[in-house]
Amino acid sequence: MSLTEEFLVNKARQISRELGEPEWLREIRERSASLFFKLDMPEHARHVKVDFESLEYFSPAEKAEKLEELPQEVRETLEALGIPEEEMEMLAGMQVQVDSSIVYQTFSDQLKSLGVIAMPIDRAIREHEDLVRTYFARLAGPEENKILALHYALWAGGTFIYVPEGVEVPFPISALFVMRSLPVAQADHTIVVAEEGSKVHYIEGCSAPSYIREALHYGVTEVWAYPGAEVRITTMQNWANHVINLPTKRGVAMSRAKIEWVESLMGSKHTAVRPVIHLRGEGSSARNVGLSFVKGEERHDAGVVIRHLAPNTRSQVISKSVAKDRGSTNFYGKVEIVKGAKGSSGFVQCDSLLLSPEASSETIPALRSDEIDSELGHEAYVGKVAEDKLFYLMSRGLSEEEAITMIVLGFFEPVVRDIPFEYANEIKKLIELSIKGM
Amino acid sequence: MLRLDGLRVRVEDREILKGADLEVQRGQVHLIIGPNGSGKSTLALAVAGHPAYEVIGGRIFFEGEDITSSPPDERARRGLFLAFQNPVEIEGLNMADYLAKLIEKRIGEKPLTPLREHVEEFVMEKLGPYMEALGFDEGFLSREVNVGFSGGEKKKFEILQMFALRPRLAILDEPDSGVDVDSLNVIGRLLSRALQEGITLLLITHTGGLYRHLRVDRVHVMYDGRIVASGGSDLFERIQESGFEVVIR
């Protein structure tokens, strides 16, 4: 297949028509489809090889109507995540967005009574078009790079969350995306808007069972935290080793707002991700926690960019990564404090653990402050090869898989400890699943 | 129960064991003594299957089976246990979770739920008396495996793991080094108990500190990668009096 501009524009149009989208969305898609051919890869992903020509973008979605039609691996993922069978039934027809057990019961009633909107984004476009339009593509636009252009041309699925002023959502809102057979489904778009003084925890799980051949995930997440709002996002991703993962994540925090981003990333052939958080308002803060695990030939080029744009802002970046076999994990932590952002501070901490002599890990800090009255810190620690730990546990009769699971979970423990029990448990299960896939 | 036939082991291009022969019978207590660097720990780690200890000659038999090339977890499942001279710290691994897993491996039972209180309850139920005998209180279970343990705590924790796993043969690599007199007495008592409970013991020591606590059946002297002498208590007494020179020549 030859990927021409005409072809892509037509496909963008077709998707828009099939989804019954309003005109402004169709226009963005068409414009983005053209931009794709003019733009370069994002800077942090220049070295990632994506064969756009051979990707099968547009095969029609094969929908599973019943639970039994879902492939075994998808069901196992859902089971491991603790989602009961009756709820899986709900998901079978979707692409898939899942509300986890706790949310599901309360989703419609309690959230509605609080005035919270939390739904698949395509439904939000139908029911709350103006609101979606206000926030859609504001923090990441199609003109930035090739991947974003492709995203805005072909995106489908994702979540829209809107929390009104002063509302504290008493339980986490969760969604699960299981990437099925079509790469077109892997450009999910999620928007979280927390109005003044509100509080929300959004948890999303993404999983690509191993039957997918070659796939590209290029989702976008846009997060808005208005004055005094607290937004916490926990992302659990578990990718098969032929998925190329190039997500875009952006967040902005107004005065006194807090954004906390916890991301657990397992697998994928190659991940290149560089979330950007802007601390725009005085006294705002960001905490970015990344857990990553690679094996085989997998490679993660993770990182984060935090910009302190106002006085008395705080940021904390923690990265913990484990590499097995010939896996490689790299972390680029960029924290900038602009002139005038007095009394601000940023701290980056990176730990990595190598499970084999061929595994590798690198940390690249890029700290820069143009403001004298500010503080920046960095700490990196590459753990030595954990061969002795592995032998110690195996000499107790634990299999290699069990031993690695224990070592990895232990290494992540200081971070997972902060996460509510049932979600920490989900992360643990995902890690176990990922190690099992070795 | 355990038989080494001319075992030769290389570590990082250096041959450390140069043809060690040894036989340990069921229900007995054997002692390996020898000067530092004679290959005692290498013997222990090679028998347990450490991947960095390459067997370049000879065989290891356990319960009649050739385990020379078995992975370490398989050896453990056959009933072989090694109490490490230098136990390894596993950061973030909770003691109760770890012990519960070892117990689960042996008897197939699990705690009610993965909740901390249930796991601790489960471990106390199975190992409570041993923990008490070793001087570990319940707070011990909320720590991380070997992290921040004193020398004595580490040695005693190895003994506790032995009771969690109930092996057929326990090889104890210097369980008496770096521990105070009280801990030594406790370890001695618990090893006698292990013997009563049917665990065969192979003790490696260069101080001989535990000798008085146990009825030792046979003493082996290791020197330069080989067992150069084996005998009864008279051999031990002779070495205590005159040093290793009496048997090395």
pLDDT band at A204 (very low <50, low <70, confident <90, very high): confident
pLDDT band at A267 (very low <50, low <70, confident <90, very high): confident
- Per-residue pLDDT at A94 exceeds 60: no
Give the other-Cβ count within 10 Å of B62's Cβ.
21
**Helix ranges restricted to H, chain B:** 40-48, 72-77, 95-107, 116-134, 151-165, 181-196, 233-242, 245-248
Beta bridge partners of A293: A266, A322
The pLDDT of residue A75:
62
Question: What is the percent of chain A with per-residue pLDDT over 90, rounded to a whole number?
Answer: 50
CB spacing of A400 vs B71 below 8 angstroms: yes
Q: Which domain holds residue B132?
A: 90-148
The token duo for A6 is 């005409």
Average the pLDDT over each of A64-68, A161-165, A259-263, A347-351 and give the range with the smallest value.
A64-68
The pLDDT of residue A212:
55
pLDDT band at A228 (very low <50, low <70, confident <90, very high): very high
- Chain A nearest-CA residue for B164: A396
Q: What is the mean pLDDT of residues A374-403?
A: 89
Q: Does one domain contain both B62 and B76?
A: yes
Q: Does one domain contain both B72 and B189?
A: yes
For chain A, list residues whose CB is within 8 angstroms of any CB belonging to chain B. Answer: 387-389, 391-400, 402-403, 406-407, 409-414, 421, 425
Q: Does one domain contain both B65 and B169?
A: yes
pLDDT digits (tens, 9 = 90+) for A97-121: 332 222 233 355 678 889 999 888 8
**B91 contact residues in A (CB cutoff 8 A):** 410-411, 413
Q: Does one domain contain both B63 and B35?
A: yes
Q: Does one domain contain both B156 and B184?
A: yes
CB spacing of B92 vs A388 below 8 angstroms: no
pLDDT band at A432 (very low <50, low <70, confident <90, very high): confident
Asked whether the beta carbons of A213 and A241 are under 8 A apart, the reply is no
**Number of structural domains found in chain B:** 2
Average the pLDDT over each of A298-302, A324-328, A413-417 and give the range with the smallest value.
A413-417
The rounded distance, in Å, linking the Cα atoms of A367 and A362 is 16
Give the residue with greater pLDDT, A387 vs A214.
A387
The pLDDT of residue B7:
95
CB spacing of A406 vs B87 below 8 angstroms: no
Q: Does one domain contain both B120 and B81?
A: no
Where does residue B180 rank: exposed (0-12), middle (13-18), buried (19+ CB within 10 A)? exposed
The pLDDT of residue A423:
66
* pLDDT tens across the length of chain B (249 residues): 999 999 999 999 999 999 999 999 999 999 999 888 899 999 999 999 999 999 999 999 999 999 999 999 999 999 999 999 999 999 999 999 999 999 999 999 999 988 889 999 999 999 999 999 999 988 899 999 999 999 899 999 999 999 999 999 999 999 988 888 888 899 999 999 999 999 999 999 877 678 878 889 999 999 999 999 999 888 888 888 888 887 776
**Phi, psi at residue A412, to the nearest 5°?**
-80, -15
- Per-residue pLDDT at A85 exceeds 90: no
For the CA atoms of B53, B62, B194, B99, the dihedral, rounded to the nearest 10 degrees, stands at 60
Average the pLDDT over each of A18-27, A115-124, A378-387 and give the range with the smallest value.
A378-387
- Per-residue pLDDT at A286 exceeds 70: yes
Tell me which range, A52-66, A102-116, A346-360, B42-56, is most confidently predicted by mean pLDDT. Answer: B42-56
pLDDT band at A185 (very low <50, low <70, confident <90, very high): very low
The pLDDT of residue A63:
41
- Per-residue pLDDT at A396 exceeds 90: yes
CB spacing of A407 vs B90 below 8 angstroms: yes
- Per-residue pLDDT at A180 exceeds 70: no
Does any CB of chain A come closer than 8 Å to the CB of residue B67? no
Q: Does one domain contain both B68 and B156?
A: yes
The rounded distance, in Å, linking the Cα atoms of A96 and A184 is 13
Does any CB of chain A come closer than 8 Å to the CB of residue B148? no
Average the pLDDT over each of A170-184, A259-273, A394-408, B155-169 and give the range with the smallest value.
A170-184
CATH code of the domain in which B83 resides: 3.40.50.300
pLDDT digits (tens, 9 = 90+) for A307-317: 999 999 999 99
